[in-house]
Copies of this chain bind each other. A is one copy, B any other.
Amino acid sequence: MLRISKLTDYGILLAVELGELQEPTSVRALSLRTGVPQATASKVLQSLARAGIARSRRGATGGYCLTRPSREIPMLEVLTALEGPLAVTDCVEEGACEHEEGCGTRVSWQRVNEAVARALANVSLADMAPPTPLVALTRSAAHAARLRQGADLSLLAPAEHA
């Protein structure tokens, strides 16, 4: 569990796709490439645009593109854009829980929440891109090496628990 919604999954798929295409791309084209239904893709992309992750351009030859290189966009930002602020429990947010003061687990939850957030902040959209050999070969050797090693993701793995 602790699952993200399908919409969010789609959003990441779309954002990754945008990261690989440099030029503005229509929702229709993105829909065909990702398999996400067009109407749904439109909705998700709007959320990304509102959050400042993507930029939209209306009218003929319009479409979407990212506002920054995908390597500079942390996954946490994308998740927040699509599902609201990260909150493992209600009580992590101020005033959401009636037992706010009496409950001793609240502080602990906030720490857990922070740990998860930090993990997601350390993964960029670029890290989610397909690590297929074919793609790796067409890019720099350094980039290919990064892909094979799973990029910075290894940083997220602390030592085994005591």
Residues of B within 8 A of A85 (CB): 1
Instruction: Write 24 A-B pairs (CB below 8 A) sorted by A numbering.
Output: A1-B4, A1-B8, A1-B79, A1-B84, A1-B86, A2-B88, A9-B89, A16-B104, A74-B161, A104-B131, A105-B129, A107-B150, A108-B128, A108-B150, A111-B123, A112-B120, A114-B157, A115-B157, A118-B157, A118-B161, A119-B119, A121-B161, A155-B158, A158-B158
By Cβ-Cβ distance, the 7 closest A-B pairs, closest first, are A104-B130, A1-B83, A115-B156, A111-B153, A122-B161, A108-B128, A115-B119
- Decide if A23 is an interface residue (CB 8 Å cutoff): no
Interface size on A, residues (CB 8 A): 57
- Decide if A58 is an interface residue (CB 8 Å cutoff): no
Residues of B within 8 A of A156 (CB): 111-112, 114-115, 118, 158
Residue of A3, A5, A83, A89 with highest tally of chain B CB at under 10 A? A3
Residues of B within 8 A of A83 (CB): 1-2
- Decide if A13 is an interface residue (CB 8 Å cutoff): yes
CB distance from A117 to the nearest CB of B (A): 9
- Decide if A116 is an interface residue (CB 8 Å cutoff): yes
